[in-house]
């Protein structure tokens, strides 16, 4: 999973969780190592004699500069989402070990990074494999298809308040406040997304939450799980591939091909509504999410160059005002804008 950060001791609630759920014996010594990578939870690797596991606890205030509060009940929904995924694609999530919903803590198997590297790290290192993106698209589409029309899931994941706090407000509405000229468009997208309830959405399908496992992609971090608009997951993931094309210019073509392959494999799984309709929703959301990762409450950490941020603002604003009908249309517009921006004297060279 994520790489370890500097070690610090766990609280008694965490050590008690292990013994209460018989994950560790009272006399066993556990070594706790904090893992990095997320802003919404504490995550630990726990090494015990002969075995390792991972413990996750949700935070009430997320670790970002902006004031971003979120209910810790999302930990229970993440656990439930992972149980759902394990029933349909058991290799797509870590093995689940124990859960304390009141404390907002659960334990799962630790997946060693030498066998399960993080997709984000691979992409930023320039290791871009189109087949990985295609596999992510197929997995995501399959899980969505398995949840469509399931009234029990819709009731279990009626997490509209969580999704508003974790996604609608910090991404779409916060960005609308920064861009008053686009406010009506962004608020309209927020309303449509929030009121569309078709499938079980992961809510954070980002390369930082995807491990490249020996049997295919492994999804993590489903704290935003919600029975809502599956187009959100598609747009959210493609968004990250586009942003990375700015900071890994030597693999720009492969990143754009990856975005296309992911979308194509996903769309092949869509049988719950006409494919052009879900593509249109994803295509409309995509530039909004691009802009949100610059001017929302959770900007991506690797866009440190002002030229890159200006490029995102310009390209995303244009697409919001004149939406493309398909994700492929957004990718074409992004690619054309990149080509124009890398011309001599354009200010965005490779």
Is residue 58 pLDDT above 50, yes or no? yes
Summarize the confidence of residues 130-154 as an average pLDDT: 98
| pLDDT for the residue 104 | 83
Q: Which residue has the higher pLDDT, 338 or 65?
A: 338
Write down the CATH number for the domain with range 12-109. 3.30.200.20
Length of the chain as a residue count? 350
With a pLDDT cut of 70, the percent of the chain lying above it is 90
Count CB neighbours of 61 within 10 A.
Answer: 11
With a pLDDT cut of 90, the percent of the chain lying above it is 79
Least confident range of 8-12, 198-202, 251-255: 8-12
pTM for the full predicted model:
0.90
Write down the CATH number for the domain with range 119-341. 3.90.1200.10
Is residue 63 pLDDT above 70, yes or no? no
**Distance separating alpha carbons of residues 150 and 229, to the nearest angstrom:** 14
What is the rounded average pLDDT for all residues in the chain? Answer: 91
Residues 253-284: tens digit of each pLDDT: 999 999 999 999 999 999 999 999 999 999 99
| pLDDT for the residue 255 | 98
| pLDDT for the residue 84 | 98
Identify the bridge partners of residue 200 per DSSP, sorted by sequence position: 227
Residues 297-347: tens digit of each pLDDT: 999 999 999 999 999 999 999 999 999 999 999 999 999 999 998 754 445
**Distance separating alpha carbons of residues 146 and 207, to the nearest angstrom:** 22
Residues 69-117: tens digit of each pLDDT: 455 667 889 999 999 999 999 999 999 999 998 888 899 999 999 999 9
Angle between helices 327-341 and 231-247 (to 10 degrees): 10
What are the structural domain ranges in the chain?
A: 12-109, 119-341
Is residue 30 pLDDT above 60, yes or no? yes
**Distance separating alpha carbons of residues 296 and 290, to the nearest angstrom:** 10
């Amino acid at each position: 999973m994520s790489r370890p950060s500097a070690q610090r001791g766990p609280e008694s609630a965490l050590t008690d969780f292990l013994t209460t759920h018989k994950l560790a014996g009272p006399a066993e010594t556990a070594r706790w190592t904090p893992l990095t990578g997320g802003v919404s939870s504490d995550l630990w690797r726990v090494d015990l004699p002969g075995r390792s596991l991972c413990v996750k606890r949700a935070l009430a205030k997320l670790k970002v500069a902006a004031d971003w509060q979120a209910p810790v009940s999302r930990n229970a929904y993440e656990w439930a989402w992972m149980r759902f995924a394990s029933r349909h694609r058991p290799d797509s999530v870590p093995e689940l070990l124990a859960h304390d919903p009141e404390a907002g803590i659960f334990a799962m198997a630790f997946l060693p990074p030498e066998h399960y590297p993080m997709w984000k790290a691979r992409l930023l290192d320039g290791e871009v494999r189109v087949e990985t993106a295609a596999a992510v698209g197929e997995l995501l589409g399959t899980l969505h298809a398995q949840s469509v029309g399931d009234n029990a899931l819709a009731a279990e994941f009626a997490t509209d308040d969580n999704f508003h706090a974790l996604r609608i407000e910090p991404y779409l509405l916060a960005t609308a406040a920064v861009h008053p000229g686009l406010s009506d468009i962004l608020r309209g997208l927020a309303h449509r997304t929030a009121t569309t309830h078709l499938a079980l959405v992961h809510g954070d399908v980002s390369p930082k939450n995807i491990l490249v496992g020996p049997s295919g992609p492994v999804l993590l971090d489903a704290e935003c799980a919600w029975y809502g608009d599956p187009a959100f997951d598609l747009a959210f993931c493609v968004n990250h591939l586009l942003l990375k094309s700015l900071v890994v210019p030597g693999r720009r073509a492969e990143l754009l091909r990856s975005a296309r392959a992911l979308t194509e494999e996903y769309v092949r799984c869509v049988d719950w509504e006409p494919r052009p309709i879900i593509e249109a929703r994803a295509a409309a959301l995509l530039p909004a999410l691009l802009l949100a990762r610059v001017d929302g409450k959770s900007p991506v950490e690797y866009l440190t160059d002002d030229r890159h941020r200006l490029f995102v603002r310009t390209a995303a604003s244009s697409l919001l005002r004149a939406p493309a009908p398909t994700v492929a249309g957004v990718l074409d517009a992004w690619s054309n804008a990149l080509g124009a921006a890398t011309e001599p004297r354009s200010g965005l060279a490779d």
